[in-house]
Chain A
Amino acid sequence: MEIHSWSLKELQDHLRKGDLSPREAVEGLDAAVAERDPAVQAYLSRDLESALRLADEADVNLPLGGIPIAIKDVINVEGQPCTCSSKILEGAYLSPYNATAITKLRAAGAIPFGRTNMDEFAMGSSTENSGIQVTHNPWDPERIPGGSSGGSAAAVAADEAFAALGTDTGGSIRQPAALCGCVGLKPTYGRVSRYGLVAFASSLDQIGPITKTIEDSAMLLQAISGADPRDSTCLDKPVPDYTAALGKDLKGVRVGLPREYFAEGIDPQVKSAVEAAIEVLSSLGAEMVELSLPHTEPAIAVYYIIATAEASTNLARFDGVRYGHRTAAAEDLMTHYGRTRAEGFGPEVKRRIILGTYVLSSGYHDEYYLRAQKVRTLIREDFSKAFEKADVLLSPTSPTPAFRIGEKVDDPLQMYLADIFTIAANLAGICAISVPCGFANAESGITLPVGLQLLGPAFGEEALLRVAHAYEQATDWSSKKPPLAPAKSGA
């Protein structure tokens, strides 16, 4: 059996029927990773022994009983490394506790399996900012998998994971999911606890699922959602049955098309794939509504001011005293700090904490940070107005398919501008999902996945899943496998 090609739901069915044991599932997955990961390099580490121990005691009747889930290496799992793909933590930190999302996964019976690569401290859109290794897109090893959750998305796309957790601060779940051809859901801010997630930008970060199907996304979201006394920003809202939202038709559903999200700068093949998806949704009964999100363009500036400001304070904790790397050569405290951080952080992290400190510094705070927070209010208001006219909004997830490794590393601003369609959801705190919607042809024989983004109002995950599921069922994009993971059956 090629078990690794199964979806999370398929694995659950087989485990419950008794076709295979959780131990066999973990071993089968591990064998697939051993075979495929040298080419993809999605995983930073995996602890087979502890996964097998959990598998042996798993109860398959629990909601995710016996199912291995890959974990982005920014979420604490007790006793495991959590490097954040940074030299400052690599080999110098083992988590003393579980993140709440992990505690909830364990309560649902799931098995944390393997730690996936990412941009250092989740800062980036290509996973090239990893301080540890470069992850390759399973559809074309010369291209980036997206980021920052590039390892999680590449692992799911290459059938090296049944499903994975990622984190999304400005698109870091949705964009890699789009570029690798998987489903990525960024929950509403406050839907999933951030306790135990190493903070990048505290007012924007959310943990969410990267999966092969919409049903899997609903199942994983179900397991990790809900209030947490350890995170006061995690809201005490009832968690609905997300799988109950699936299978409904789209009659009467209003889909908003924000004018600004279809402006220039979109790759023509991405544009035609998204336009074809609009046709499909219309044919399923959805009603298209043209509308406007006037503050789309300034959202990038607002995002990079707020996110770097928050990062500069969050990353102050890496001081070489309580955990992580500490410089060997420091005779005084200032040198200790300055050199520890110079040796531990990579270029993008350095740029961002400098930028964040600058926009918060005396004399510039009002000009940059405070002003950005005010424009953030306008961005939220844009969405509030849009959701009066539409139940969900639709756009491309990324303006282009996966770009080449190395293509944008020297120009951080160009890299930032590619986040245009995803960052506003984080600023507004709403939910959004990326679903495979077709392919773009690169050079001879190479096809690259394209993602469709749906955005929903705060706590509107059911509407997102409903529309995304109807679309997925009407098309067959999700069943396509990259050349690294041929969709064949039999041993």
Chain B
Amino acid sequence: MPTENFDVRYVAALVRLELTDEEASTYQQQLDKILDHMRRIDAIDVSGIEPTAHANPVFDVMREDEPGKSFSPETALRNAPKQRNDQFVVTKVVE
């Protein structure tokens, strides 16, 4: 039963989300209940059924590869919380 292995803290780390202890315990409880409901689809026979990824499937939508207008560096950076020399500033990645 996958639900029994649902560990809210492990999944929150995958999705890059810090949780307080209180949040972890509330969400664990609520999501256990929701996952339990979701497991109702186990009862449906889906053998031989193709999955639907899109409701009205279209494939290989092509367009001409023509250069168009794009944002200026100023426009692209206008919402950046931190920027320097026309670049986004990120938190230090390397030691």
- B55 near A357 with CB under 8 A, answer no
Chain B 5-46 interface 0/1 with A at a Cβ cutoff of 8 Å (1 = within): 010100111111111000100010011011101111110101
Chain A 404-448 interface 0/1 with B at a Cβ cutoff of 8 Å (1 = within): 000000011100100000000011111000000000000000000
- B44 near A336 with CB under 8 A, answer no
**Which residues from chain B contact A304 at a C-beta distance below 8 Å?**
34, 38
- A233 near B54 with CB under 8 A, answer yes
- B18 near A189 with CB under 8 A, answer no
**Which residues from chain A contact B52 at a C-beta distance below 8 Å?**
373-374, 376-377, 380, 427
State A380–B50 Cα separation when bound (angstroms). Answer: 12
**Which residues from chain B contact A330 at a C-beta distance below 8 Å?**
91
Per the 8 Å Cβ criterion, residues 49-92 of B in contact with A are 49-56, 58, 61, 63, 71, 75-76, 78-82, 88, 90-92
Given the known A-B contacts A235-B58, A350-B17, are A371 and B41 also in contact in the complex, defined by CB atoms under 8 Å? yes
State A326–B81 Cα separation when bound (angstroms). Answer: 6
**Which residues from chain A contact B38 at a C-beta distance below 8 Å?**
301, 304-305, 359, 368, 372
State A301–B13 Cα separation when bound (angstroms). Answer: 24
- Separation in Å of the A78 CB from the closest CB of chain B? 10
Smallest Cβ-Cβ distance to A323: which chain B residue: B79
- B46 near A378 with CB under 8 A, answer yes
Given the known A-B contacts A190-B56, A375-B41, are A354 and B18 also in contact in the complex, defined by CB atoms under 8 Å? no
Binds B, one of A26-34, A90-98, A214-222: A90-98
A412 in complex: contacting residue of B17, B34, B75, B78, CB < 8 Å: B34
- A322 near B80 with CB under 8 A, answer yes
Smallest Cβ-Cβ distance to A204: which chain B residue: B55
State A355–B54 Cα separation when bound (angstroms). Answer: 20
Q: How many A-B residue pairs have CB under 8 A?
A: 180
- Separation in Å of the B82 CB from the closest CB of chain A? 7
- A333 near B44 with CB under 8 A, answer no
- B71 near A96 with CB under 8 A, answer yes
Whether, in the assembled complex, A341 has its beta carbon less than 8 Å from a beta carbon of chain B, the answer is yes
**Which residues from chain B contact A188 at a C-beta distance below 8 Å?**
56
A96 in complex: contacting residue of B13, B78, B82, CB < 8 Å: B78
- B92 near A94 with CB under 8 A, answer no
- Separation in Å of the B48 CB from the closest CB of chain A? 9
**Which residues from chain B contact A347 at a C-beta distance below 8 Å?**
23
Chain B residues within 8 Å of chain A by Cβ, number: 51
State A426–B56 Cα separation when bound (angstroms). Answer: 11
State A97–B76 Cα separation when bound (angstroms). Answer: 10
- Separation in Å of the B57 CB from the closest CB of chain A? 9
Whether, in the assembled complex, A486 has its beta carbon less than 8 Å from a beta carbon of chain B, the answer is no
B17 in complex: contacting residue of A325, A326, A345, A361, CB < 8 Å: A345
Where chain B touches its partner, the secondary structure class is loop
Whether, in the assembled complex, A264 has its beta carbon less than 8 Å from a beta carbon of chain B, the answer is no
Where chain A touches its partner, the secondary structure class is helix
- Separation in Å of the B88 CB from the closest CB of chain A? 5
Chain A residues within 8 Å of chain B by Cβ, number: 80
Given the known A-B contacts A321-B81, A354-B11, are A371 and B46 also in contact in the complex, defined by CB atoms under 8 Å? yes
A429 in complex: contacting residue of B30, B49, B56, B78, CB < 8 Å: B56
- A354 near B8 with CB under 8 A, answer yes
Whether, in the assembled complex, A262 has its beta carbon less than 8 Å from a beta carbon of chain B, the answer is no
Whether, in the assembled complex, A229 has its beta carbon less than 8 Å from a beta carbon of chain B, the answer is yes
**Which residues from chain A contact B75 at a C-beta distance below 8 Å?**
96
- Separation in Å of the B74 CB from the closest CB of chain A? 10
Question: Which of B55, B75, B76, B82 gathers the greatest number of chain A CB atoms within 10 Å?
Answer: B55
- Separation in Å of the B83 CB from the closest CB of chain A? 10
**Which residues from chain B contact A413 at a C-beta distance below 8 Å?**
30, 33-34, 37
State A301–B42 Cα separation when bound (angstroms). Answer: 10
Per the 8 Å Cβ criterion, residues 320-368 of A in contact with B are 320-326, 330-339, 341-342, 345, 347, 350-351, 353-359, 361, 363-364, 367-368
State A207–B24 Cα separation when bound (angstroms). Answer: 34
- A354 near B27 with CB under 8 A, answer yes
A380 in complex: contacting residue of B31, B55, B71, CB < 8 Å: B55
State A361–B46 Cα separation when bound (angstroms). Answer: 21
**Which residues from chain B contact A377 at a C-beta distance below 8 Å?**
49-52
- B50 near A320 with CB under 8 A, answer no
Whether, in the assembled complex, A21 has its beta carbon less than 8 Å from a beta carbon of chain B, the answer is no
**Which residues from chain A contact B35 at a C-beta distance below 8 Å?**
355, 358
- A322 near B79 with CB under 8 A, answer yes
Whether, in the assembled complex, A455 has its beta carbon less than 8 Å from a beta carbon of chain B, the answer is no
Given the known A-B contacts A188-B56, A322-B80, are A312 and B41 also in contact in the complex, defined by CB atoms under 8 Å? no
**Which residues from chain B contact A316 at a C-beta distance below 8 Å?**
15-16
- A363 near B2 with CB under 8 A, answer yes
Given A203-B54, A350-B23, 20 more A-B residue pairs with CB atoms under 8 Å apart are A97-B71, A188-B56, A190-B56, A301-B41, A304-B38, A316-B15, A320-B81, A331-B91, A341-B17, A342-B17, A350-B12, A354-B15, A355-B31, A357-B15, A361-B14, A372-B38, A377-B49, A380-B52, A380-B55, A430-B55
Q: Show 12 residue pairs from A and B whose CB-CB distance is below 8 angstroms, ordered by the A residue.
A: A203-B53, A232-B58, A298-B41, A322-B79, A334-B16, A356-B15, A358-B6, A363-B2, A374-B46, A375-B44, A426-B55, A427-B52
3 nearest A-B residue pairs (beta carbon): A429-B55, A373-B51, A323-B79
